[in-house]
């Protein structure tokens, strides 16, 4: 069962997929109904999920489920990953490559490869207060309140 993204409860579980490139407005217009259709049909062991999906910042695909209504399962998560793979093929974009990290600097998104991160921190290009789009955020409340968040408040804290 589809619910609008902005009506998700704070505890709703989210999965964030970062696109390898910005999603164009034309692609966004084509993807939005696909997201709603997927969320409408998404189920776990035959039970409809209270689900939603959204594109944020023309770069992030967010799938969500209200776990307090119906918990997702391994099978439902597999369905979502297959859906993301279908989007990748259809739009020639990667959502499953975790080798690029997205930061917000001076109002612009900057991608840094995982391999470059240590050098960027050492050079001072990225510091503990640099805003980071942490794709490991797991619930809607944190996504709304703390995203992007200072790098030090994420798994990147070990670099500072």
pLDDT given for residue 78 in this prediction? 83
- What's the pLDDT at 41? 87
pLDDT in the model for residue 143: 96
Residues 66 and 3 sit within 8 Å (Cβ to Cβ)? yes
- C-alpha–C-alpha distance, residues 18 and 89, integer Å: 15
Name 142's Cβ contacts closer than 8 Å, sequence gap at least 6: none
Nearest in space to 140 (alpha carbons), one of 75, 67, 82, 35 = 67
Q: What is the value of pTM for the model shown?
A: 0.91
pLDDT for the residue 71:
59
User: Strand (E) positions, the chain?
Assistant: 13-18, 43-44, 47-48, 51-56, 60-65, 100-105, 108-113, 131-132, 149-150
Q: What confidence score (pLDDT) does residue 48 get?
A: 77
Whether residue 61 contacts residue 90, with contact meaning beta carbons closer than 8 Å, is answered with no
SS3 call for 35:
helix
pLDDT of the residue at 67 = 75
* Domain residue limits, the chain: 5-91, 100-133+146-159
The SS3 call for residue 94 is coil
Look up residue 66 and give its two tokens: 């209200």
Euclidean distance between CA atoms 2 and 13, whole angstroms:
14
**One CATH from 2.30.30, 2.40.128, 3.30.300, 3.90.1170 for 5-91:** 3.30.300
Per-residue model confidence as pLDDT tens digits over 34-75? 999 999 988 766 777 789 999 999 999 999 999 766 656 677
Give the Cα separation of 42 and 62 in Å (integer): 14
Can you list the residues of the chain whose pLDDT is less than 70? 44-45, 68-73
pLDDT score, position 34:
97
């Amino acid at each position: 069962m589809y619910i609008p993204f902005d009506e998700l409860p704070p505890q709703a579980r989210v999965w964030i997929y970062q696109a390898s490139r910005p999603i164009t407005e034309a692609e966004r217009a084509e993807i939005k109904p696909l997201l709603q259709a997927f969320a409408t049909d998404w189920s776990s062991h035959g039970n409809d999920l209270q689900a939603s999906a959204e594109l944020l910042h023309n770069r992030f695909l967010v799938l969500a489920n209200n776990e307090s209504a119906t918990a997702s399962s391994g099978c439902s998560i597999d369905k979502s990953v297959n859906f993301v793979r279908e989007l990748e093929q259809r739009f020639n974009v990667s959502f499953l490559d975790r080798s690029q990290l997205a930061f917000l600097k001076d109002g612009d998104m900057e991608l840094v490869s995982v391999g470059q991160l240590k050098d960027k921190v050492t050079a001072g290009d990225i510091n503990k207060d640099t805003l980071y789009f942490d794709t490991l955020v797991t619930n809607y409340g944190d996504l709304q309140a703390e995203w992007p968040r200072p790098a030090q408040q994420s798994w990147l804290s070990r670099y500072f």
